[in-house]
């Protein structure tokens, strides 16, 4: 019997209609289009403005897109993993609502939080369930309504983040396609460099925390940038070396869309040419857990069966990692 690997067999994506451009941000905070574009590569981001819709709405739309394109029966889905840093609410798992709303009535579901590395961690978890032989169809969704935790008077963060969601279906493969290897890491040295200070068990919500705006993302940009460049590029090069891959062997770099300079540094370390580097940061900004599956959704038609994809991410905590995957189908 051949070894079972977890292959991506379908993808889906969704971004809200409302666009927040750099020009619009110029009217909100002291910044300008040239500064934002030069330092981040971002021109615009999508915002879910409806106050009655949360992260679950984004995840549901991405999952429905996958189901509609692939024709998979949602009742055959065994489990749903929702990677998110912005759940609808603290206790009732958002992934459960996503599963119910898409008709995955036979699945169990839960949320996974690893900041911007959430989807990569979720894909690793889903792959392990597939490789165990116990489950046949695992839906991994990355979704974040980052606008719900951004202070739009803070120019260090409001220029970066946007809202969106993406999804992949993992299924067993015995022909050598799918997830081949992964290197996942973490280090709490970054605990205070990218965080929301209040709202958890350490500092519960109060009038004081609200008044001090402690429920919004705060970031020490220079520290995050330094660690992101070093660690994301490091594990990407390491996974190539461990699997005897040259830069010619890598067909696509699927990197977390946090900053164009970080993506460029990772590609340079790997020796991968620009034409192989997937990017949509200019249109969406940093959608946190959604960046990697949104890339797959946007570029799916370019992938060919057997293509070598290297995924790379870096997020708050700090969390980071790289995954080597062989694409399993022709679009």
Residues classed as catalytic = 116, 256, 286
How many CA within 13 A on the CB side of residue 150? Answer: 22
Please say whether the beta carbons of 213 and 157 come within 8 A: no
| Cα 71 to chain centroid, rounded | 24
- Say if residue 221 is exposed, middle or buried (CB neighbours under 10 Å; 0-12, 13-18, 19+): middle
Residue linked to tokens 């897109």 = 65
How many angstroms separate the Cα of 65 from the Cα of each of 61, 74, 154, 194, 278? 6, 12, 34, 32, 21
| Cα 275 to chain centroid, rounded | 21
How many CA within 13 A on the CB side of residue 17? Answer: 1
The Cα 62–Cα 12 span in angstroms is 5
Please say whether the beta carbons of 38 and 99 come within 8 A: no
- Say if residue 185 is exposed, middle or buried (CB neighbours under 10 Å; 0-12, 13-18, 19+): middle
- The residues near 310 (Cβ < 8 Å, ≥ 6 apart) are 236, 239, 240, 245, 250, 252, 253, 254, 270, 272, 322, 323, 324, 325
The Cα 248–Cα 183 span in angstroms is 21
The Cα 129–Cα 166 span in angstroms is 20
Residue linked to tokens 């429920």 = 215
Residue among 317, 273, 314 at smallest CA distance from 292 = 314
Strands (E), 63-127: 79-83, 108-112
């Amino acid at each position: 019997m051949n070894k079972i690997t977890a292959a991506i067999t379908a993808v889906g994506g969704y971004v809200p209609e409302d666009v927040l451009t750099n020009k619009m941000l110029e009217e909100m905070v002291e910044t300008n289009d040239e500064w934002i574009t030069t330092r981040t590569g971002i021109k615009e981001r999508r915002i879910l403005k409806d106050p009655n819709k949360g992260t679950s709405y984004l995840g549901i739309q991405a999952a429905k897109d996958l189901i509609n394109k692939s024709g998979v029966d949602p009742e055959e889905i065994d489990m749903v993993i929702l990677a998110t840093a912005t759940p609808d609410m603290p206790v009732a798992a958002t992934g459960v609502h996503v599963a119910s709303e898409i008709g995955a009535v036979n699945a169990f579901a839960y949320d996974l939080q690893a900041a911007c590395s959430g989807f990569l961690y979720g894909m690793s978890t889903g792959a392990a369930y597939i490789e165990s032989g116990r489950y046949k169809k695992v839906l991994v969704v990355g979704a974040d309504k980052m606008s719900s935790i951004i202070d739009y008077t803070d120019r260090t963060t409001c220029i970066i983040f946007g809202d969106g969601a993406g999804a992949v279906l993992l299924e067993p493969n015995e022909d050598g396609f799918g997830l081949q290897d992964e290197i996942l890491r973490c280090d709490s040295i970054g605990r205070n460099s990218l965080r929301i200070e209040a709202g958890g068990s350490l500092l519960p919500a109060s009038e004081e925390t609200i008044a001090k705006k402690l429920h919004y993302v705060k970031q020490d940009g220079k520290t995050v940038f330094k660690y992101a460049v070093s660690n994301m590029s490091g594990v990407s090069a390491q996974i190539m070396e461990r699997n005897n891959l040259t830069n010619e062997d890598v067909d696509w770099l699927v990197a977390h869309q946090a900053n164009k300079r970080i993506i460029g540094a990772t590609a340079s370390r790997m020796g991968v040419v620009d034409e192989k580097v997937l990017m949509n940061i200019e249109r969406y900004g940093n959608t946190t857990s959604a960046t990697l599956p949104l890339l797959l959704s946007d570029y799916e038609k370019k992938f060919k069966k057997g293509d070598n994809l290297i995924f790379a991410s870096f997020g708050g905590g700090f969390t980071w990692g790289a995954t080597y995957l062989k694409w399993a189908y022709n679009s």
